[in-house]
Amino acid sequence: MIRRWIAFLACGVAGGAAGWWLASREGLAWGLLLGAAAWQLIDSWYARRMLAWLRSEQSNETPLLMAGAQPSLPGVWGEAADRIRRLLKNSHQQYSESQARLDEFLAALQASPSGVVLLDDEGRIEWCNQTAAQHFGFDARRDLQQHIANLVRDPVFNAYMTAASFLHEVVILGSSSTPARPVRLSVHVHRYRKDRKLLLSRDITALEQAEVMRRDFVANVSHEIRTPLTVVSGFIETLQTLPLKKPERDRYLALMGLQSQRMQTLVDDLLTLSRLEGSPLPGAHEWTATASMFAQCEQEARALSSVIAAQGHELTFETGPACEIAGLRRELCSALSNLVNNAVRYTPGGGLIEIYWTMLADGRGMFCVRDSGPGIAAEHLPRLTERFYRVDRSRSRETGGTGLGLAIVKHVAQRHGAELRIESQLGKGSCFCIIFPAGRVRRQTQPA
């Protein structure tokens, strides 16, 4: 400010001196006036340059931080321009940092496994991540500013939004849901900043399926154990209250033993499944000969056949090339025995059951059990490996099946990197095969 006054006085002195020199005392006043006018013109020109620069900055015509963007102005105008430039530079830096933080926040929301939708106070979509777009069938760009009620037509969701009571979540069907494969979404809305809304969605299809499986599992286990317990308790009461002759008592005791064995088998299968699900995957350092496993399967199958069917079954075992499989012998024998025993249980007496082992051209090994039983309808095939799933419940209980055999086979196959294949037609029998990967099969160099 002092420089500004010095400049004004300098212009006045120079004008007054010039007027004195030209017109003596009469020119002094005019010289002072002309000097002040000259200073005003120069100062106005600086002010105009300053204003032009500010206008260009505000309209983004001249980038703020480029060299030469700051006008070269003297005195107070130069200091004001410098201060404005620094303020704008700091503001631009803060804006850039805020934008970077916003981008990071949106990137985190974009990576969220839950759907996220930001709604304005009228329910229009301001932003959504890709997960939400998949859940509701949105287009993340095209559907911005669209009212969510126009895009999500589920009556439950519309009633939820209309009631505006967001203390709990609601469950609706997802956009990709079909009658064969329903997709269930959990939707919860939260208010923020007056009446804006944050909508969160989760795909709970797997959770609901797991809950259904848990309930079915508990119900099936309870039913499977209750039936033999009822029989055993009834026979015990009979033995305690009635005087029975030895043949009758022996028959009752035999039936009690059979039901006890059924419960023991069920418990053993449940423990086997629990062990398979909770233990580490088997390594490839332990090798088991297929011939020894075949011998064990054959012994169990012939013993079971003689108990179940009066005339037995026609059992054929083809051991194929001498090979070894890498894995846990206990698990492998359990899987192979379950396939063979299932074939014996569900094939009528006198039927043909073929069990064979072969090497495929690509080095994989295949264990197959083929029977001439009643076969299985196509709609049952996808669910055969579910726990306690039975095509014919009465037939399974008559033969002592627990409904867990194929579930055990599936888990053992998965743990050894193998594939379980099931082929069956009604009236034409069934074929169950376990195909082991080439890395877990080798030809046996020495006899077992």
Q: What pTM was estimated for this model as a whole?
A: 0.56
Read off the pLDDT of residues 131-172 as tens digits, 9 standing for 90 and up: 999 999 988 888 889 999 889 988 999 999 998 888 899 999
pLDDT band at 404 (very low <50, low <70, confident <90, very high): confident
Q: What is the CATH number of the domain that holds 127?
A: 3.30.450.20
Read off the pLDDT of residues 21-32 as tens digits, 9 standing for 90 and up: 666 666 666 666
Identify whether the C-beta of residue 430 lies closer than 8 Å to the C-beta of residue 440.
no
Q: What is the CATH number of the domain that holds 387?
A: 3.30.565.10
Read off the pLDDT of residues 103-120 as tens digits, 9 standing for 90 and up: 888 888 888 889 999 999
Check residue 109 and give its pLDDT: 85
Please tell me the total count of domains within the chain: 4
Checking if the pLDDT of 62 tops 70, the result is no
Both 122 and 267 in one domain: the answer is no
Both 239 and 308 in one domain: the answer is no
Please give the Cα distance from 297 to 56 (Å, whole number). 90
Both 125 and 214 in one domain: the answer is no
Both 429 and 336 in one domain: the answer is yes
Q: Return the higher-pLDDT residue of 339 and 9.
A: 339
Check residue 35 and give its pLDDT: 66
Checking if the pLDDT of 428 tops 80, the result is yes
In 3D, which of 100, 103, 66 has the Cα closest to residue 85? 66
Identify whether the C-beta of residue 138 lies closer than 8 Å to the C-beta of residue 128.
yes
Please give the Cα distance from 51 to 38 (Å, whole number). 20
* Among candidate residues 279, 296, 331, the one where a domain is terminated: 279
Check residue 30 and give its pLDDT: 62
Check residue 28 and give its pLDDT: 63
Checking if the pLDDT of 212 tops 50, the result is yes
* Among candidate residues 172, 203, 234, the one where a domain is terminated: 203
**Alpha-carbon dihedral angle through residues 406, 410, 412, 414, given to the nearest 10 degrees:** 180
* Among candidate residues 73, 105, 137, the one where a domain is terminated: 105
Both 28 and 92 in one domain: the answer is yes
Both 197 and 237 in one domain: the answer is no
pLDDT band at 233 (very low <50, low <70, confident <90, very high): confident
Both 328 and 386 in one domain: the answer is yes
Q: Return the higher-pLDDT residue of 424 and 56.
A: 424
Both 134 and 221 in one domain: the answer is no
Check residue 356 and give its pLDDT: 93
Q: What is the CATH number of the domain that holds 249?
A: 1.10.287.130
Check residue 64 and give its pLDDT: 37
Please give the Cα distance from 279 to 45 (Å, whole number). 86
In 3D, which of 435, 405, 383 has the Cα closest to residue 273? 405
For residue 132, with 0-12 CB atoms within 10 Å meaning exposed, 13-18 middle and 19 or more buried, which class applies?
buried
Both 48 and 154 in one domain: the answer is no
Percent of the chain with pLDDT over 70: 83
Both 138 and 217 in one domain: the answer is no
Q: Return the higher-pLDDT residue of 231 and 125.
A: 125
Please give the Cα distance from 317 to 295 (Å, whole number). 9
Check residue 413 and give its pLDDT: 92
Both 386 and 352 in one domain: the answer is yes
Check residue 75 and give its pLDDT: 65
Checking if the pLDDT of 224 tops 90, the result is no
Please give the Cα distance from 56 to 62 (Å, whole number). 6
Checking if the pLDDT of 69 tops 80, the result is no
Both 87 and 118 in one domain: the answer is no
Check residue 445 and give its pLDDT: 72
Check residue 188 and give its pLDDT: 95
Q: By residue range, what is the domain housing residue 80?
A: 2-105
Read off the pLDDT of residues 316-331 as tens digits, 9 standing for 90 and up: 999 888 999 999 998 9
Check residue 125 and give its pLDDT: 92
